[in-house]
Chain A
Amino acid sequence: MKKLFVMVAALSLIVAGSALAGGNMNTGCGLGTVIFKDVQNQSTLVQIVAATTNGTLGNQTFGITSGTSECTQPKNYVQSDRLNEFVQANMDELARDISAGKGETISTIAELMGVPSTQRDAFNANLQAHFQQIFPAPGVEFAHVVDTIVSVSNQG
């Protein structure tokens, strides 16, 4: 019986699905630097199997600290590595949340910067007002974003 089920499951893998396995860690310095995993260049069948068995291509990692060394570093290196890593890896989401003056990533950087909860609304509104300074051009890199967020919130 078990053999039969296994065969059936095998067959289903061959015919089913169209989902893609997702992307990996974000390594890059600017907007849109998501790494598309190799799986998206593979045949549909490979993608299906990867999505179905929850498999991943390439090496599995213990990515506990990723580092930002390949990027220009912020000038005000007073903030934590955690903040730098987070901003580098979440540039696009952070840009969206700052533009709207709310969201999970903006709360996260507020927490990492030690902004008290009573001052969060002001912090958010201040960053929103300075959006175009923080993200001045499509080629903006994370170091500029961190530096500007820090200096803008120190003024604000």
Chain B
Amino acid sequence: MRRHGARPFFLFPLLLLFLLSSPAWPGTNGYLEEMKETAARRRLQDDRYWDILLFYKPAAGGRKSLVDDPKFFLAPGGKRDPGAELSATLDAMFDGSLSPPARCRFPARYEWLKETLPIDPARLPRPDCPLLDNNLRAINPKSVSLIFASGHMNAPASMFGHTFLRLDSAYESPLLSYAVNYAATINPKDSGIAYAFKGIFGYYPGYYSILPYYAKVREYANMDQRDLWEYRTNLTEAEVRRMTLHILEMEGIYADYYFLDENCSYDLLFLFEAARPSVTLTDRHKGFFVTPIDTLRSVLAEGLIDNVVFRPSTARTIRHKAAEAGEAEVVLAKSLASGDASPSDVIDGPLPAADKARVLDLASDFTRYLYLKREIPKDPYQGRYLRILAARSTVAGPPPESRPLPVPAPPESGHLVSRASLAGGARDGRPFLEVAYRPAYHSLEDPAEGFNEGSQIVFSEAAARWYPKDEKVRLQRLDLIDIVSLAPRDAFFRPVSWKVRTGFATRDFPGGVESLVYALNPGGGFAWKVSPLGIVSLLAETDLAVSGRYDRSFALAMGGSAGIARQVSDRWGVLAQARYVHGVLGDRERGRRFTASLKLPFRLSRNRSLVLEGEHADGPSVHVGTIRLTWNAYF
């Protein structure tokens, strides 16, 4: 018995309290002291695995855990003191009075200490963990997949995507797997603006959750119309078990959730490190953002991924089935879904069996889609859906043959999201050079592979221009945000296309004067896919410009734009636009503006591109033509 040794642990009054108030398992005190001594001698508190399990990261004056929940720490100062936390953890493991026992509440810490020290489990109090065992039996983890949910087509802000994990069991069907998700929990009583700021500045707690995978499939693929990419990792069963134990000890534990970095993606990286400590994932990210695609790229770079499976959203499936069917069949399927036609008419009708099956499949998919979008109430839905399916069940035999759904390029095949540009050109015959930088994310002229077609989201792009003739460098533009969402309408889906752009822009004034104005330019309208033009869009636009150069310091103009966006081949694209706005308030005269532009982007490689563009701007006493060739590097 060496319990009276003058060791610093005993200086913690709380620890003393622990020992006094909770009579430890008879005869364990000496053993506990021995374990603590071994741990201290081997400096286990500095072991990388301890850092991983406790989310410790270097901070001013030592290390600090990213977890903010006091329940996660067994020592009072555990958030900043790995040694005290380790000592308190050992104390707790030997404390027979805790409920649930510490080894059941923190099974990953226990497993690691048991193997590393090692601890003889026979000398621990209360050796069984029924709840933990039940959970492990239900999950039965054998392997792990990283799931990437692509952006919503009509919401460029979701373009960053989302990542979560799937714990795969011995079952063949992935629907029986469990999804592990890390997300901010939002307080529904907060007002709108509060949401945005709290979400970004870490005022919402982030929690892990475990749900059946079918629930996540329904949420993303069926309701949100987001495609899922399922990346099967090569983690071994033992590694997956370690990861699962660590996930289970995070139940009900929060960390402040920061949208930009400590987000859904970043926290999953710790779980991979807990599974296989030889990989380095959480220290790879030095930038401002950690986006889900960064997570995916890190995991790929560490060689953790074996293969990938694409699970298309319902919307994509419906579009594909519609493309396979004839026009008349699409019309018929739609009227079945709206309740205007009866399924028995299809069955009694003249169509061949395969076409009947095709129409009814399309109709049931679309009926369910409308219900999930709350466009039909539950009562008519139940009856209509079941009548369509009952009719479908009478068409026996193999399902209709069709081409497999084309799988888009996977998200990691896209360009990296920061961009630096060098450009040369001439404005009304005066040559200039230009440099530009944007931290994120994707614009329509960037290489399209791996991104949603017709979606653009640009954060804070700045461009400076130099005219050698008059030795002048000027800030050409500073886009705070430039978002475009061109969502084509078709027989089934009728989305609205929209754009919003705001920031400082250069406008032309009479006498060849260029001047920086602050501009806000929202717009909304429709887009269609028209062969062979590509995505054709028509948007109504409002343009507000603020500058001392305007009468009354502002010009509000309204009008519209027409555009064509087409990917001609893997390399070439074409973007053409004509836009006219008419002054309605403020400086109405100079608010009037017509522009026509043509851009020809050319992809050199995944992370290099060229864009050749010409633009003509026309206004009161302004007729300016600009041509420019831009070289873009993505990193």
A residues apposed to B, CB below 8 Å: 1-2, 4-6, 8-26, 30-32, 34, 36, 38-40, 42-43, 45-46, 48-66, 82, 85-86, 89-90, 92-93, 95-96, 98-102, 104-105, 107-108, 111-112, 125, 128-129, 131-132, 135, 137-140
Contact = CB atoms under 8 A, between A and B. Distances in A.
B175 A104 contact: yes
A9 B457 contact: no
Contacts of A125: 396
B10 interface: no
A96 B368 contact: yes
A131 B157 contact: no
Interface stretch (B104-112, B294-302, B380-388, B554-562): B380-388
Given A17-B158, A38-B188, A60-B208, 5 more contacts: A5-B260, A5-B439, A54-B263, A128-B396, A129-B396
B186 interface: yes
A98 B257 CA distance: 42
Contacts of B371: 32
Interface string B148-177: 000010111110101000000001110110
Contact of B199 (A13, A18, A99, A131): A13
Contact of A11 (B172, B173, B365, B480): B480
Nearest to A103: B399
- B156, B160, B248, B382 — which one has the most chain A CB atoms within 10 A of its CB? B382
Contacts, number: 264
Given A17-B157, A86-B175, A55 B481 contact: no
Interface residues of B, number: 90
A49 B357 CA distance: 40
B146 to A, nearest CB: 15
Contacts of A53: 184, 186, 199-200, 204, 257, 259, 263
A108 B175 contact: yes
A26 B156 CA distance: 28
Interface in B364-391: 364-365, 368, 371-372, 374, 378-379, 381-383, 385-386, 389-390
B218 A56 contact: no
Given A22-B223, A57-B186, A139-B382, A111 B173 contact: yes
Contact of A138 (B171, B259, B382, B483): B382
Nearest to A50: B186
B347 interface: no
B392 interface: yes
A9 B260 CA distance: 8
B37 interface: no
B185 interface: yes
B183 A135 contact: no
B188 to A, nearest CB: 5
Contacts of B152: 17, 19, 51
Contact of A86 (B176, B200, B393): B176
Contact of A2 (B135, B212, B288, B393): B288
B460 interface: yes
Interface in B424-444: 439
Interface stretch (B92-100, B189-197, B468-476, B574-582): B189-197
Contacts of B224: 19-22, 51
B500 A60 contact: no
A56 B145 CA distance: 22
Contact of B386 (A16, A24, A102, A135): A135
B157 A10 contact: no
A5 to B, nearest CB: 5
Contacts of B493: none
B176 A108 contact: yes
Contacts of A105: 175
A49 B195 contact: yes
A18 B396 contact: no
- B178, B192, B289 — which one has the most chain A CB atoms within 10 A of its CB? B192
B201 interface: yes
B45 interface: no
